[in-house]
Amino acid sequence: MRRRSFLAMGGATGVAVAMSQIPDARAAVAAVAHPAAAVADPAAGSANATLRGLAAKIGLRVGTAVIPQDLNTPAWTAILAEQFSVVTPGNAMKWGPVEPQQGVFDWSDADTLVSFAEAHGQLVRGHTLLWHNQLPTWLTTGVANGTISKSQLMSLLEQHIFTEVGRYKGRIWQWDVANEFFLDANPSGINPNDFWVSNLGAGIIPQAFKWAHQADPHALLFYNDYNIAGEDGTNAKSDAVYAWLRQMLDQGVPINGVGNQGHLDTQFGFSGIRMTSDLQRYGALGLKVAITEADVRTFVNNATDQVPTDNLAVFAQPYEFSQMMLAALAVPEVISFTVWGFVDADSWVPGFFTGEGYATIYDVNAQPKLAFYNLLEDLQIAAFGAPRRVHTPGAF
């Protein structure tokens, strides 16, 4: 269970190794990135040589998490519009931000992001309705001090789901209805100490799906979690989620999809092959599948520059991105591949994992990294196949 540290928090103190101290790595990135930059769309011209354009050829959507501040930087906005075909509000649809005081709603950030998506031909992944984190303080305090009873909590949740899902009815492609309910343990299972489970029992999870389905019958409703495609090394969490999903579907719970977040770290290693087979078995349940929050972090010099301190990390980072994409491409039920922020300067990683960063596909200056080009190349081959070999007549 090497990834138990996933939720460990802390400021990035940084490791004092400058990029100039690893010139080989820098040169290697430049050398590899440059030729791949020429990847083109032979059928539709260079305008389609984007992540979203290539993915569209096989009916896949490529997405990113976004916060409203991302729209303040023109270079970032241009990338967002050009490369991505689905958007996930990174925080703006969580309960805390939308109802900071009981009965006082702030939809401004969520509205901004949904409008941006609609203006740019992008779909929206709603994130998230039932999670232990980023709940309003009035709610958690009220439950803790007993001024909100368990039956009131249940009503408040029902009201929350109907209010939010209802507000965006018809405008959300996929909703992450329930998020991160399973233990990082072997064997895994639903966390009995989760805020919602400890207060209302595990039955609250399927109930949330039923409410969300009533509120917007056309939205695809997802269960979303991290390390549920074998990244824990044991497959224990995947096994538990798979068994639970099967049980829920047998009971007629309106779950349409499963999202594997895809938060990776180069220090742990990762099996792309196992991810493929785990995604396949979710698909075999009749579910849609999504990679919902892909990023690959590694140790860096400091939180500002985010230069990897290990030469090999420069290659491990794009490799793991590519392995995730290949797993997604291999499974037809995977309908979207979303990265959790696209530029290192705006990644959640340095603020949560001390000394780590470089987790996205664009560097701190919004320049595409090797990971971007690897994803582009993977999508190019998926969309058009490998080009046929050119043989010289008369030669072997």
Q: What does the binding site for ligand G3I look like in residue numbers (CB under 6 A)? A: 90-91, 133-134, 179, 261, 293, 348
Q: Nearest distance from residue 320's CB to ligand G3I, in Å?
A: 17
Q: Nearest distance from residue 331's CB to ligand G3I, in Å?
A: 21
Which stretches within the chain are classed as H helix?
23-36, 51-56, 74-83, 95-98, 108-119, 137-145, 150-167, 195-200, 204-215, 236-250, 272-284, 313-330, 349-352, 370-384
Closest alpha carbon to 184 in 226, 131, 222, 132:
226
In contact, 18 and 356? CB cutoff 8 Å: no
Q: Nearest distance from residue 395's CB to ligand G3I, in Å?
A: 55
Q: Which is closer to ligand G3I, CB of 175 or CB of 348?
A: 348
Q: Of 99, 293, 320, 356, which is the active-site residue? A: 293
Q: Which is closer to ligand G3I, CB of 299 or CB of 348?
A: 348
Q: Which is closer to ligand G3I, CB of 347 or CB of 380?
A: 347
Cβ-count burial of 250 within 10 angstroms (0-12 exposed, 13-18 middle, 19+ buried)? exposed
Q: Which is closer to ligand G3I, CB of 46 or CB of 133?
A: 133
Q: Which is closer to ligand G3I, CB of 181 or CB of 348?
A: 348
Q: Nearest distance from residue 247's CB to ligand G3I, in Å?
A: 24
What are the residues facing 356 on neighbouring strands? Answer: 299
* DSSP code of residue 182: B
- Letter string b/e over residues 61-89, b meaning 16 or more CB atoms within 10 A of that residue's CB: bbbbbbbbebeeeeebeebbbebbbbbbb
In contact, 245 and 181? CB cutoff 8 Å: no
Q: Which is closer to ligand G3I, CB of 261 or CB of 338?
A: 261
Minimal CB distance residue for ligand G3I: 348
Tell me the two tokens of residue 382.
Answer: 């998926």
In contact, 130 and 204? CB cutoff 8 Å: yes
How far apart CA 323 and CA 30 sit, in angstroms, is 21
Q: Nearest distance from residue 351's CB to ligand G3I, in Å?
A: 7
CA within 13 Å, CB half, 230: 17
Cβ-count burial of 103 within 10 angstroms (0-12 exposed, 13-18 middle, 19+ buried)? exposed
Q: Which is closer to ligand G3I, CB of 232 or CB of 310?
A: 232
231 is catalytic: no
Q: Of 164, 180, 320, 356, which is the active-site residue? A: 180
Tell me the two tokens of residue 223.
Answer: 């269960």
DSSP string covering 285-335, please? TT-EEEEEEEEEEEEBS-TTT--BSSTTHHHHHHHHHHHHHHHHHH-TTEE
The three-class DSSP label of residue 70 is helix
Q: Nearest distance from residue 348's CB to ligand G3I, in Å?
A: 4
Q: Nearest distance from residue 17's CB to ligand G3I, in Å?
A: 26
180 is catalytic: yes
For the annotated catalytic residues, the residue numbers are: 180, 293
